[in-house]
Structure 1
Amino acid sequence: MLSISTLIAVLLYSTAGFLQWQIMRGDRKQSRSINQFLGLAGLVAHTAAIFLVLHQPGGINLSLFSVGSLISWLVAGLVLLSSLRQSIDNLFIAVFPMAAMTVLATWVAGVGDGKAYDAGLILHILLSILAYSIFTIATIQAILLSRQVSALKHHHTRGLVSSLPPLQTMERLLFEMLWTGLTLLTAALITGFIFFEDLFAQHLVHKTVLSLIAWGLYAILLFGRNSFGWRINAAIRWTITSFVILAIGFFGSKAVMEWFI
């Protein structure tokens, strides 16, 4: 079942991403509902795969690859849901291939052992994964926004720019995502301090410090937006930098723990 659901998810995600890329380039015209349907079907298959990977006899499998697959599943689901009310279909170009690669990598790496977690730690983990997922979407949005600004600056009005919402809408969506992500990251850090006996223990200190640095950078960006009117260029730089730091803390620490310790 894991192999079948994984391969179906990869096929559907890849097809939806490729078709969206053709639409963006102007090579194909089709109803947006087709890609939404393919993405949703891929998400259903991904759901089955991630369920089989996470639930193990010993508890929940939160290995590096399974967490990556879970985050990409959540990102794909959030983008699909948001696409019903916002014209953000071009996010499919990055989100669906990412989901396909992570679900495939998890299958290739093999299913890890499960571990039992208490309710408080599960809450902290879920909030962390939600925050990371939102920031992942925000970073993709920032990259698209950067491409859009560059294209408009050079008076390129076809291809990507013609298929994106107006610049003001893209900017507003980015800051909405950042506020949501920061709220979730704040809650994740608070629950971490509450439910971990020592969040600065040797095996958690790098993740904690880098997460706090990323939180500070996101907070400064949003403060600058509200107080000084920081706009697109600042948002793009700060969003990408903050995400890189958060990713190093989130995945880098987990990789070191699993592979080198």
Structure 2
Amino acid sequence: MHNTLFLAAALLYAACALLPSRRGGVISGVTALAWALHGVALGGDAFAPGSLRIGFAIMLSAALWVSVAAYWFENRNFALDGLRRLVMPCACAAALLPMLFPGSVMPLSTQSSAFGWHVAVAVLAYSTLTIAAFHAVLMALQETRLHARTVTAGPGWFGGALDQLPALLTMEKLLFRLIGIGFVLLSLTVLSGVVFSEQLFGRALRWDHKNIFALLSWILFAALLAGRRWRGWRGKTALRFTLAGFATLALAYVGSRFVLEVVLHRSVA
């Protein structure tokens, strides 16, 4: 049942990526339906009475699920059709991942009641910064197109969507709003992991690769926001920090879980 829903959501995401920009109402409806099916599949697959299924595929799929919602809401206020061309193919792949890599089941009876909140905030932080990374890539492509456009170059499938984006200054404002929200959520994730490690995980905080990468990501985003506030950082500097912070955060959990589950074939919670 869950696999059928994952497959249906993936097909709808793929269809949404291919729809022409002028079909705005259809795009919005298909996106909402795909998102709903994806959410039902995730909820049924990840949550069972007294247990939680975890793994890099579930985490990545949940992150893209929230990212699609962020795109859908933002697109109602701003013309972000180019973002659809980036997010939907990734959401399509992410919807299929739990079918291929189911992860492992963790019994919740041995976990603190705060564990669920910690996981929820971590997923929200990761999701918000994922959409910020998509946004940064889109801005880089938009800037490149503005500088490299020639008279003879046609708009193309993706170029036409880039031409419909808001001005770079508006895109930059949206980017830093996403980063600000994501940074607050990431701060709560790191803080809860540090302060309540004994209660959340049943052991004192360990300086393993996951915690180190998460803290390094927090430092990069903190430096970016501080540089923006006091040094006026923008443009390529902001984009580099955003992508570096996201890549580091991806290594903190998704990357490490991918190595454990796919490369080393270990089912470790």
TM-score normalised by structure 1 residue count: 0.89
Cα shift at 1:119: 2.2
Q: Is the 8 A contact 1:224 1:230 kept in 2?
A: yes
Q: Hey, what's the Cα distance between the residues in 2 that align with 1:121 and 1:62?
A: 13
Secondary structure of 1:142's counterpart equals helix
Change (3 A) 1:199 1:38: farther
Q: Does 1:245 align with 2:251?
A: no
CA RMSD of aligned residues (A): 2.0
Q: Is the 8 A contact 1:152 1:161 kept in 2?
A: no
Residue identity opposite 1:136 in structure 2: T
Q: Hey, what's the Cα distance between the residues in 2 that align with 1:18 and 1:247?
A: 27
Q: Hey, what's the Cα distance between the residues in 2 that align with 1:220 and 1:81?
A: 28
Change (3 A) 1:199 1:255: farther
1:51 is matched with: 43
Secondary structure of 1:61's counterpart equals strand
Q: Is the 8 A contact 2:9 2:35 kept in 1?
A: yes
Where does structure 2 lack aligned partners over 5 or more consecutive residues? none
Aligned with 2:145 (options 136, 142, 151): 151
1:149-202 Cα distance to aligned partner (Å, 9 max, x none): 11111245942432111111111111111111111100111111122125642x
Change (3 A) 1:31 1:199: farther
Q: Does 1:222 align with 2:264?
A: no
Q: Does 1:81 align with 2:61?
A: no
Aligned with 1:35 (options 14, 27, 36): 27
Residue identity opposite 2:191 in structure 1: I
Residue identity opposite 2:240 in structure 1: R
Change (3 A) 1:57 1:114: farther
1:109 is matched with: 101
Percent of pairs with identical residues? 28
Q: Hey, what's the Cα distance between the residues in 2 that align with 1:122 and 1:99?
A: 24
1:95-150 Cα distance to aligned partner (Å, 9 max, x none): 22212212212123347434214321111111111111011001111011001111
Q: Is the 8 A contact 1:6 1:103 kept in 2?
A: yes
Residue identity opposite 1:165 in structure 2: P
Aligned with 1:136 (options 107, 113, 130): 130
1:27 is matched with: none
Secondary structure of 2:54's counterpart equals coil
Change (3 A) 1:229 1:90: same
Aligned length: 251
Q: Is the 8 A contact 1:121 1:195 kept in 2?
A: no
Change (3 A) 1:154 1:257: closer
Where does structure 1 lack aligned partners over 5 or more consecutive residues? 24-29
1:191 is matched with: 192
Residue identity opposite 2:237 in structure 1: A
1:15-73 Cα distance to aligned partner (Å, 9 max, x none): 00112xx53xxxxxx23121111111101111121112112344111222122211111
Secondary structure of 1:113's counterpart equals strand
Secondary structure of 1:84's counterpart equals helix
Secondary structure of 2:141's counterpart equals helix
1:26 is matched with: none
Secondary structure of 1:60's counterpart equals strand
Cα shift at 1:7: 2.0
Q: Hey, what's the Cα distance between the residues in 2 that align with 1:121 and 1:156?
A: 54
Cα shift at 1:4: 2.4
Q: Hey, what's the Cα distance between the residues in 1 that align with 2:240 and 2:32?
A: 32
Q: Does 1:93 align with 2:94?
A: no
1:70 is matched with: 62
Aligned with 2:258 (options 247, 255, 259): 255
Q: Hey, what's the Cα distance between the residues in 1 that align with 2:204 and 2:133?
A: 27
